[in-house]
Amino acid sequence: MHNAGQSYLKSGKYVCCTIDKQPQVTILHKKSGLNSVFLWGLFQDNNVRKHGGYLIMSWNRDYEKSGRIWGENPGVLAEAAVGYLKKNRPGTERFDLLDIGCGYGRDAFYLSDNLKFSVLGVDVAEKSIAIAMDTVMKTKRRNISFQSIDFASLGGDKYDIVFASNVYQILHKYEREAFRNTVQKALRPEGLLFLATLSINDPEHYGKGERIAGEENSFKEEKYLHFCTREELTKDFGFLSIKELYEQKYAEPRSNGQIHHHVSWILIGTIGAMLKN
Ligand SMILES: C[S@@+](CC[C@H](N)C(=O)[O-])C[C@H]1O[C@@H](n2cnc3c(N)ncnc32)[C@H](O)[C@@H]1O
């Protein structure tokens, strides 16, 4: 987005700009010549983040059409998390794990099966949660639950581990900040974050579609996507002690038979010293 005074996205009767860094939408009344300015932040809070809007509709549509979009196997972050925790967690202690933007639960099930933790998966798209709940019922799994909820509306419950795979990259700038606040609030002292998010070196999507004005490394192809640099992640997650931060190349099979090739950052960070190293 542009700074105050700079207008952008002037299309038809809408002009969007920022005032004091707050996004605004001005609706131009052509006949009366009057302009009315609405706080876009209010719209975002009430309609987009909490009650859905385009993003939720779009994800629901994807899950309705393709079901288990990325197949049954876990993603690279879940495999990294299991490897890391098996090596580093002390003894046989049980932990509570929160999977933010869990989709239909492919990672949540893998984490629960391999680590015997208590797992809660949350996702705004109720269609994805319906698929996850169906799996819970069919496989009679315990210690795993799902909720259709925006992470920004999570209550005050605390977790030993927050896990978020391929979610940060689809969040707009203000949502990424809300995400970091949620992580900070949700982690118990000495808790751990496992995060996977697309890198600027991603060959599949980086630089494709419309560049988002005023935002570095953000594009709108079919959906909004933000690509991170090492410097950005180190700065934005500076409230954690970062244990590992590396780029991971992987091939991701799709339910439609296509294979996507990605490069994601894997970030593992702690708010303390729960682990041995
Ligand atoms: C790319 S998918 C990844 C799904 C899952 N983590 C996986 O890798 O299989 C991103 C998910 O984040 C969810 N999501 C987006 N914004 C969210 C929010 N504010 N709160 C909770 N979930 C959200 C979407 O509905 C979608 O299911």
For residue 121, give the CATH number of its domain: 3.40.50.150
Mean pLDDT to the nearest integer, 243-256: 92
Pick the residue whose CA is nearest to atom 13 on ligand 1.
101
pLDDT at 273: 54
pLDDT band at 254, cuts 50/70/90? Answer: confident
* pLDDT score of 90: 65
Q: Which of 189, 180, 184 lies closest to 232, judged by CA? A: 180
Give, using CA atoms, the residue closest to atom 24 of ligand 1. Answer: 101
Residues 44 and 159 in one domain: no
Do the domain assignments include residue 1? Answer: no
Pick the atom of ligand 1 nearest to 105's CA. Answer: 9
User: Domain end: 66, 86, 111, which one?
Assistant: 66
When divided into structural domains, the chain yields a total of: 2
* Cβ proximity of 162 and 187 under 8 Å: yes
Distance 100 CA to ligand 1 centre (A): 7
Full-model pTM: 0.82
Q: CA of 134: how far to CAs of 37, 72, 115, 128, in Å?
A: 45, 14, 22, 10
Residue 219 CA to residue 238 CA, distance in Å, equals 25
Q: What is the pLDDT of residue 256?
A: 78
Same domain (yes/no): 239, 142: yes
Does residue 250 fall inside a structural domain? yes
Which of 16, 44, 66 marks a domain boundary?
A: 66
> What are the pLDDT digits (tens) for 47-91?
344 434 678 889 999 999 999 999 999 999 999 999 999 998 765
Q: What's the 56 CA to ligand 1 centre distance in angstroms?
A: 9
- Check whether residue 244 and residue 203 sit in a common domain: yes
Which residue among 43, 66, 89 closes a domain? Answer: 66
Q: Ligand 1, residues 76, 123, 197, 205: which to mutate, most atoms within 8 A of Cβ?
A: 123
Q: Separation of 7 CA from ligand 1 center, angstroms?
A: 31
For 138, residues 6+ apart whose C-beta sits below 8 A from its C-beta are: none
Domain match, 149 and 47 both: no
State the distance from the centre of ligand 1 to the C-alpha of 34, rounded, in angstroms. Answer: 40
Most confidently predicted of 91-105, 229-243, 248-262: 229-243
Domain residue limits at 180:
76-276
- In the reported structure, the alpha carbon of residue 31 is separated from the centroid of ligand 1 by a whole-number distance in angstroms of 42
Residues 141 and 45 in one domain: no
C-alpha triplet 121, 164, 128: angle, nearest 5°: 45
23 and 92 part of one domain = no
Q: How far is the CA of 124 from the centre of ligand 1 (A)?
A: 7
CA 32 to ligand 1 center in whole angstroms: 43
pLDDT surpassing 70 at residue 12? no
Q: Whose CA is nearest to atom 9 of ligand 1?
A: 103
Identify any residues that bridge with 99 across adjacent strands, giving them in sequence order.
121, 163
Residue 110 covered by a domain: yes
The answer to whether the beta carbons of residues 6 and 21 sit under 8 Å apart is: no
- Please state, as a whole number, how many other Cβ atoms lie within 10 Å of the Cβ of residue 219: 18
164 inside domain: yes
Q: Is residue 141 part of a domain?
A: yes
Give the closest residue to 41 by CA, choosing from 19, 59, 58: 19
223 pLDDT exceeds 70? yes
Alpha-carbon distance of 260 to 250, in angstroms, equals 8
My answer on whether 37 and 101 are in the same domain is: no
Answer yes or no: do 141 and 266 share one domain. Answer: yes
Closest ligand 1 atom to 169 CA: 1
Give nearest CA residue, ligand 1 atom 3: 166
Q: Which residues contact 125 (CB under 8 A, 6 or more apart)?
A: 56, 59, 60, 63, 103, 148
56 and 90 together in one domain? no
Asked if residue 80 and residue 18 are part of one domain, the reply reads no
DSSP 214-265: T-TTEEESSSEEE-B-HHHHHHHTTTSEEEEEEEEEEEEE-TTS-EEEEEEE
Q: Which residue has the higher pLDDT, 94 or 156?
A: 156
- CA 227 → CA 15, 59, 60, 66, 251, distances in Å? 26, 19, 23, 25, 18
Q: Which atom of ligand 1 is nearest to the CA of 179?
A: 19
* Same domain membership, residue 51 and residue 145: no
Q: Who wins on pLDDT, 8 or 252?
A: 252
